[in-house]
Amino acid sequence: MIDWILYYLGLALTLLGGIMDLIASIGFFRFKDFYMRLHAATIGAIGGGFYPLIGLALIALSLDLDIYIKAYISGVCVIAAALIALTAPAGSHILARATHRSGEVVPKVIVDRIKEDMEKGGNEK
Amino acid sequence: MRKAISIIIYGLLMAIVYLVYTGVFSLVEILLSIAIGLIIAYIFAGDIITDLSKLSLSRIYHAVAYLIKYFTVIEARAHWSVIKIILSRNTNPKPAIVRVPFKADNPYTIVFVANSITNTPGTVVVDMDENKKAYYVHWLTPISLNDDDAYRSISLEFEKHLTKVFE
């Protein structure tokens, strides 16, 4: 019974991850600005990278295998998921910060507090 | 003494990661993992562990509770709101870069709150200022441009839980 629940929960998470990746790639085309595309990239990293790995770990736990093999596969999946969740935001931060500081893309926003603070002279470059 | 305990705790955690990644649980492998873990911990523990006396069961409990809540409720809500915008007929949101103040002092809290904000779709931390104690957040669907309202709706929940873990 518990194997059955784990298997179908993992399968659902993995399928959901595929759908999330598809939606994220649609979002890349529909958003017209660099900063808005970062939000679509977050969906691809967390919804399309983190949750499928957790799902794979659950599927591996539910299979009828030796306990060492199960522990190995699901452990690697969980560690990889944790690394994605820790490092994907660092990449997003550095892309957004570098783009804003270089002035390569002018963000299409209704207010830009970084620019306001820099014009006041508080935020040194 | 305190440094030795922090090296041992950190080294055992590294040994567990090593064992999980190799997938072999023989005696030689376990001894090798502990040796490598202790070497890594000897090099890095001084930088990573700042105050061992803060280690307690209640902090671990709060961390696990926060992780479970974050990856089920908060992430699902944020994903759904951005997916609705992507699949709507007229993709024309009006984003804003707002200032979100924070009250935390510990660098771990600051980093983890920033990571939590960026990991939820709809908000990305573009820049931060440590002297003014503020993040600059690109917000896809701004509810309010005021600093305090932005703090309440973006980072209050993360900061409330993470101060219990790290401060």
Pair B151, B75 in one domain: yes
Contact B96, A67 (CB under 8 A): no
Burial class of residue A64 in the structure, from the number of CB atoms within 10 Å of its CB (0-12 exposed, 13-18 middle, 19+ buried): exposed
pTM, rounded to two decimals: 0.86
Pair B61, B47 in one domain: no
Which of A84-93, A94-103, B83-92, B104-113 has the lowest average pLDDT? B83-92
Give the range of the structural domain holding residue B46, as residue numbers without chain letter.
2-54
**Cβ <8 Å between A39 and B114:** no
Q: How far is CA A24 from the centre of its chain?
A: 10
Pair B35, B71 in one domain: no
Sign, CA torsion B71/A88/A109/A101: positive
| Predicted ipTM of the assembly | 0.84
Mean pLDDT of B58-76: 90
Pair B76, B139 in one domain: yes
Query: Tell me, what's the pLDDT at A125?
Result: 47
3-class secondary structure, B155: coil
Pair B24, B79 in one domain: no
**Cβ <8 Å between A23 and B87:** yes
**Cβ <8 Å between B95 and A36:** yes
Which pLDDT tens digit goes with each residue over A13-45?
999 999 999 999 998 888 888 888 888 888 899
Pair B123, B143 in one domain: yes
Pair B31, B113 in one domain: no
The pLDDT of residue B16 is above 60: yes
Query: What are the chain A neighbours of B21 within 8 Å (beta carbons)?
Result: 75-76, 79
Query: What are the chain B neighbours of A47 within 8 Å (beta carbons)?
Result: 75, 79, 121
Q: How far apart are CA B28 and CA B35, in angstroms?
A: 11
Pair B104, B115 in one domain: yes
Pair B75, B42 in one domain: no
**Cβ <8 Å between A111 and B94:** no
Q: How far apart are CA B63 and CA B165, in angstroms?
A: 6
Which pLDDT tens digit goes with each residue over B76-122?
988 898 888 888 887 778 888 888 888 888 888 899 999 999 988 88
Which pLDDT tens digit goes with each residue over A38-78?
888 888 999 889 999 999 999 998 888 888 888 888 889 99
Query: Tell me, what's the pLDDT at A55?
Result: 93
Q: How far apart are CA B52 and CA A50, in angstroms?
A: 31
3-class secondary structure, B128: strand
**Cβ <8 Å between B91 and A30:** yes
The token duo for B17 is 């990661």
Calculated CA dihedral for residues A94, A36, B77, A61, nearest 10 degrees: -60
Top residue of A19, A42, A94 to mutate, by most chain B CBs within 10 Å, is A42
**Cβ <8 Å between B138 and A96:** yes
Q: How far apart are CA B17 and CA B7, in angstroms?
A: 15
Count of the separate structural domains present in chain B:
2
Query: If residue A36 lies in a helix (H) or strand (E), which one and from where to where?
Result: helix A34-42
Pair B48, B61 in one domain: no
% helix, strand, coil for chain A, step of 5 = 80, 0, 20
Of B161, B158, B154, nearest to B140 by C-alpha is B154
Pair B68, B130 in one domain: yes
Distance to chain B for A3, nearest Cα, Å: 21
Measured between alpha carbons, how far is residue A74 from residues A49, A68, A80, B25, B67 in Å? 15, 10, 10, 15, 18
Provide residues of B within 8 Å CB-CB of chain A: 17, 20-21, 23, 25, 71, 75, 79, 82-83, 86-87, 91, 93-99, 114-115, 118-122, 124-127, 129, 132, 136, 138, 140, 142, 145
**Cβ <8 Å between A123 and B129:** yes
**Cβ <8 Å between B132 and A42:** no
